[in-house]
Every structure is written in C-alpha cells, then in structure tokens.
Amino acid sequence: MFLELPVQYKHIAELIQDVFVIASGEGFTVPEYQIQVSDLALINLNLPDNHYELYPDGPDQENIYHSVSDSAEVIVLRYLDHPVCDEGSDDYRFSDHSKPARHAVMIDVFSQALPGKISEQWYSHQINLAGSLISRIEVLQSPDEFKNYHLSWFLVLLMLDFPLVDALILARAAMNVSRETWPKEVHLFPKIDAIDLSSSFFIPETPFPSINQSLLNLYPVMGDSEWIKKLLELGVKTIQLRIKDEHRSDLIKQIREVVSLGQASDSQVFINDYWKIAIDENAFGIHLGQEDLLAADLKSIHAAGLRLGVSTHSYQEILTAELIKPSYIALGHIFPTSTKQMPSKPQGLVRLRLYQQFINSLSDYEKRMIPTVAIGGIDLTNLSNVAAQGVDSIAVVRAITDADDYVDAVTKIQTDFNLSKRVNHVEI
C-alpha cells in the first residue's frame, strides 16, 4: 500500500497516523503502508485492488478525467472557503440565522465509480446519494483545519477498504466528534434525501409492523418448503424462504405452503423478494435486498401489514434502509459465502460491531427497537464471535443444509448463540 503526497500536504502524514490510531482502537488492523512526498499536484493512493488519484485543490474545470494512470480512479476534492449567510444568495436558506455568520467549506468530488458529479456542500444536514451527492453541515473548524482533517480521514477510510460513498459519509461524520473518536451516533451522520433516490420512493409515516424479538435468534434461510417444514417442526420460530429461480414452476405453491406452515405454527416466516405473491398469500413478512427497494411497491407492502426486513452492506445502505423504518435490518455479508453472488466484500467483525452500535443509536433516536440479523458465512466455528458484536440474531444456510445431522446442528447453533448472547449481555 503506497501513498504519495504533494509537498504542500506532507504535514497530513501525522494526521493520517492519528486517524489510524483511532481505527486501531476500534479493532481495525492497520495495513502496512508507505508515504512519500512528491512535487506532483495530486495524491497517489495505490491499494491492492484500487488506484486512486486525488486532487485536493481542483482543478476547477469539470473535464477532470485526465488520469496519469489509465487504471486509476480519479477523485477531485475542492475545498472552498466562502461565507454562506449573505441574504439573497442561493445558500442563504441553509444558514442558521440565529447564530453569527460563519465560513463554510465546500467539497466537490468527481468519480468514475459513481454516476455524475458528486457535490458535498457543508452547510446543513442532508446527503443526496443519487446522481449528485450533497451533504450539508455547518463547519466549526477553520477551513484549513477542516481540509486537512477531512482529507486524512478520507484517505484512511479508503486505505481501510471502505467503499467510496462510505468513506465520504464517515469522513464527514468524523468532523463532528473529538479528534480521538470514531463517529457512532446517528445525529453526527448525514441524512439520505429519498426524493433523489426515486421520485416514487415511499417513506411511511409509521414504521413497518414489528416482529416478536423473543422469537429471533437462529434465522435459517432456506430454498424450499420442505426445509421450512422440517425446521419449523424443530421449533425454529423465524425463518426465510429464498428461491433464487423466479421461473420455478411451483413458485406460488412453495410460497403458499410456507405461509400456511408459518401460520399453523405461529412462526415468523419471511418471503425473499416475491412481494406481490407474498401480499396475495397474506404472508407474515417480506425480505428485500437493496437493489429491490426501488423496484418493490413499498406502499402496498406497508398497507398490507406485512413485516419488512432489509439487507444492508454499508453505512450508506443502513441510512437508506432506515428511511422506510423496516421491521429488522440484516447486516452482511460478514464472512465469505458461496450461497449468493455478493456485490460487496466481506464486512468482518469490526464493521459488524460498528454497524450494530450505529443501529443502537438509531433505535434510541427513533425510540423503537430495530432488530438486527447478521448473515454471511456464519457457522458453529464463528457464531460466538458474531454474537459478541451485539447482534440480535444470525442467519445461516449451509451450517444447516450441509450438516451431517441437521437436527443436531440446529440445536447446537441455537444453544451456542443464545449462550453467547447472554454472556455478551452480562459483559456489557
């Protein structure tokens, strides 16, 4: 891992080290990296899987795709200091007129990894994550202090392998905490602007119906009704039917069967993806991935009284999911998994704990319980470590389907996870 800083930014090497100390305190492994100083106007960041070129001082023109390396991801960060409280200006409406006028910092980011121009303007408290990304907050640091500290956080987060949007979100949130603290409270973070996600994106006035959290510990995700039936007979009370083949001839029959089985056993049976059929069959609940949130008719699902679970893989996706106030939030994938093609990398235990702490903050802020489900590569060898991060339940697939004795596997998973949760609760 190699970082090349322009000579005018060599002083942030110490700030980068300070941010790594904060990350290390949270449990992240600090990668081996080298820092060199050059006369170039750009910051070169070479990572194992990415090569970034960052221009912290411009250029002002929007035609910025002139990478020194054809393989590099070009990001332009413009930190501009200007007053925002002049009445009559476009920015006047974002000012807090009860306070003295302040200067603010604007950051423009251009990236080939995200559609269009991304613009972050730091006046108020909002972030728009569609074609343009806008977050606004009043900046309390001096412009130079803000620039150096934000840039240091942004670089470290990229070096810790956070996706670009999460690096922007966390770097922005870090400006609102002390220099020794990882941002964890929801009020420190930007809010997602749902309008630009989709003009029809549904935000309910009330949360989706809650689930019985006492029945949420082991959460198997199974591919057919036979497995659902066997596990319900063992006393599993929360379960999901995930059929990958949408053209399966008995799809409706499978969903109808598991809905009936769930109702007969007073269990919480969720249907993955097929929300129209689930509504028609009066299912207990639906589970949707991030890619399904814009396509599904969330208003109809809410009106039908179905519970809703949502998959997340990042801070950005947690913030997006929470707009619709789901019944639970799934966090993953935690470890490598072969049961599903994943768009993201494994999150690991450190991020799982941070996501859980962030959702705890959301629960406090909204004054409602938001149960969590950890998913992805979880089995008997690692479930105690997963439970130690504070999650409410674990979703498993192969830990049951590939077991020599699935009955024994279910018993051991339930026993070990519940014991680990109790131990973790006592420690906390």
118 annotated to bind ligand: no
292 annotated to bind ligand: yes
260 annotated to bind ligand: no
198 annotated to bind ligand: no
26 phi/psi in degrees, rounded to 5:
-85, -10
Burial (0-12, 13-18, 19+ Cβ within 10 Å), 385 = middle
Query: Residue 360's Cα: distance from chain center in Å?
Result: 14
Report the amino acid identity of residue 380.
L
191 annotated to bind ligand: no
Q: Contact 61/45 with Cβ under 8 angstroms?
A: no
238 annotated to bind ligand: no
Cα angle: 204, vertex 258, 309; to 5 degrees: 25
CA distance 248 to 254: 10
45 annotated to bind ligand: no
HSE of 81, CA atoms in CB hemisphere, 13 A? 10
Q: How many CB atoms lie within 10 A of CB 213?
A: 15
80: enclosing H helix or E strand:
strand 80-83
184 annotated to bind ligand: no
155 annotated to bind ligand: no
Strands across the sheet containing 2-6: 34-38, 2-6, 43-46, 51-55, 73-76
Q: Contact 329/373 with Cβ under 8 angstroms?
A: yes
DSSP of 359-377, one letter per residue?
HHHHHHHHTS---EEEESS
CA distance 295 to 222: 23
CA distance 134 to 6: 27
Instruction: Report in angstroms the alpha-carbon separations of 388 from 168, 312, 331, 334, 372.
Output: 28, 20, 14, 13, 13
311 annotated to bind ligand: yes
CA distance 263 to 139: 53
For residue 247, is it left (φ>0), alpha (ψ between -120 and 50) or beta?
A: alpha
**Residue at token pair 């018993």:** 411
45: enclosing H helix or E strand:
strand 43-46
Structure tokens at 286: 């639906």
272 annotated to bind ligand: yes
241 annotated to bind ligand: yes
Handedness of CA 211, 214, 218, 224 (dihedral sign): negative
290 annotated to bind ligand: no
243 annotated to bind ligand: yes
In the chain, what is the straight-line distance between the N-terminal and C-terminal CA atoms, in Å? 36
Binding residues for Mg(2+): 273, 292
- Which residue numbers belong to the known binding site? 240-244, 272-273, 292, 311, 337-340, 377
